[in-house]
Amino acid sequence: MEDLGFWITAGGLAALVALSLALGLLRAGRRGLKAAESDILLYKSQLEEIDQDVARGVLSDADAEATRIEVKRRLLAADKAAQGAATLSQGPRVLPGVLLVVAVLGGTFGLYGALGAPSYGDLPLAARLEASDAARASRPSQAEAEATADLPQPDMSQLAPEFAELMQRLRGALAERPNDLEGFTLLARNEARIGRIAEARAAQQRVIQLKGREATAGDWSDLAEFSVVSAGGYVSPEAEAAADAALVLDPGDGRARYYKGLAEVQGGRADLGFRRWDALLADSPPDAPWVPILRRELPGLAELAGIPFRPEERPEFGENEEMIRNMVETLAGRLAAEGGNAEEWARLIHSLGVLGDHDRAGMIAAEALSVFAGDQEAVGMINAALNGSGERP
């Protein structure tokens, strides 16, 4: 019944629009007919006045003939316009108006049938944000996610017997020594290495408990990563809390920024996730493990968020990239140790920008500007290189 009411309302509105357009078309024809008929009467009246002016001696015969010719020309044009307007306004010739009504109604229902969603209620922004927050608040816990993910366990038979025995002994020792920080650190690292990610997460959680306030951003990022992987890619509340803790200690932590953005995307906030990931991509070195993922996901995410986005175009150096980086690092080391001219500093800044290291390009530019503070030509060269590098404030 709700759908029926919607279609009746939408159809009525579309019909009103179509009828308004059709009536406007017909009225235009009638207005044109009336105007043309008025012109005909005017020109006929003028022909009669010409004869009267000749009789009174106001016009000569030659002038009267020239005037008659011009008035008759206009009379013929007005008669032609009247015939066209009459054709448009006649009842049996209302086909254009009917076609217009059909086109508007058909187009309206056809387009909405293809693009619309009549069965859904209104979704204002406030309601969508509220629903997103509610969904995030009630999402599954880490334990529930791990149970649902049910990831396959690695084949322990493939491990070297000596290593497998050492791991078993380490687990047994830590069961008796629950406060052994070094032991749990070693356990977390090696459990992850052999693919027992849920066990690595539990061990890393114990590492953070033992460290307390001494836990680093890297410790929390490790926990976030182990949590996400052991849950099959899902960011649980516990995993997001670990990423948040890492960002408090180090706002620039790349892994924490990635997993925080993933949590926002999974929670229906494509806008927040896009902004976080876009900034992360701008700050990341090309070999960061999340860079290929961000480059692949950001265009679609921008479309979902309704945000204009143009992917950054960066040249691909292939196998030569390592050689180019070594050359850039050699130049950077020489300039840091021995100094150099403005052209060399500008070349270094531009090269770093091309390689995507915008933050470093900006820092080196600031250093170079202080070195060449009194040399306007050198300052201009460095600023040009900085602008060309794509350095971001």
Q: Is the pLDDT of residue 391 over 60?
A: no
Kindly report the pTM of this predicted structure: 0.55
pLDDT confidence of residue 34: 52
Local confidence band at 260 (pLDDT 50, 70, 90 cut-offs): very high
> Rounded to an integer, what distance in angstroms lies between the CA atom of residue 33 and that of residue 72?
19
pLDDT confidence of residue 149: 84
pLDDT confidence of residue 128: 62
Q: Is the pLDDT of residue 14 over 90?
A: no
Q: What is the mean pLDDT of residues 236-262?
A: 95
Instruction: Dump pLDDT digits (tens) for 25-46.
Output: 555 545 444 555 566 666 666 6
Q: Is the pLDDT of residue 111 over 80?
A: no
Q: What is the mean pLDDT of residues 52-57?
A: 72
pLDDT, averaged across the chain: 78
Using alpha carbons, select from 32, 34, 37, 29 the residue that is nearest to residue 75.
Answer: 37
pLDDT confidence of residue 316: 57
Using alpha carbons, select from 366, 364, 359 the residue that is nearest to residue 347.
Answer: 364
Q: Is the pLDDT of residue 251 over 50?
A: yes
The owner of tokens 């069965």 is 119
Q: What is the topology classification, in CATH, of domain 167-305?
A: 1.25.40
HSE of 333 in the Cβ direction (CA atoms, 13 Å)? 6
Residue 269 CB partners (closer than 8 Å, separation 6+): 132
> Rounded to an integer, what distance in angstroms lies between the CA atom of residue 201 and that of residue 203?
5
- Which residue did the predictor score with more confidence, 274 or 384? 274
pLDDT confidence of residue 393: 34
Q: How far is CA 298 from CA 102, 261, 287, 354, in A?
A: 42, 11, 17, 21
Using alpha carbons, select from 156, 231, 234, 241 the residue that is nearest to residue 198.
Answer: 231
Delimiting residues of CATH 1.20.120 domain(s) in the chain:
2-115
Sequential DSSP letters for 197-227: HHHHHHHHHHHHHHHGGG--HHHHHHHHHHH
pLDDT confidence of residue 100: 60
Q: Which CATH architecture has domain 318-388?
A: Alpha Horseshoe (1.25)
Instruction: Dump pLDDT digits (tens) for 151-163.
Output: 777 777 778 888 8
Instruction: Dump pLDDT digits (tens) for 273-322.
Output: 999 999 999 888 877 889 889 988 999 999 888 888 776 655 555 556 67
Q: 197-211 and 181-193 are packed helices; what angle lies between their axes, rounded to 10 degrees? A: 160
Tell me which of 1.20.120, 3.40.50, 1.10.287, 1.10.3130 is the CATH number of domain 2-115. Answer: 1.20.120
pLDDT confidence of residue 392: 39
Q: Pick the most confident of 98-112, 140-154, 161-175, 232-246.
A: 232-246
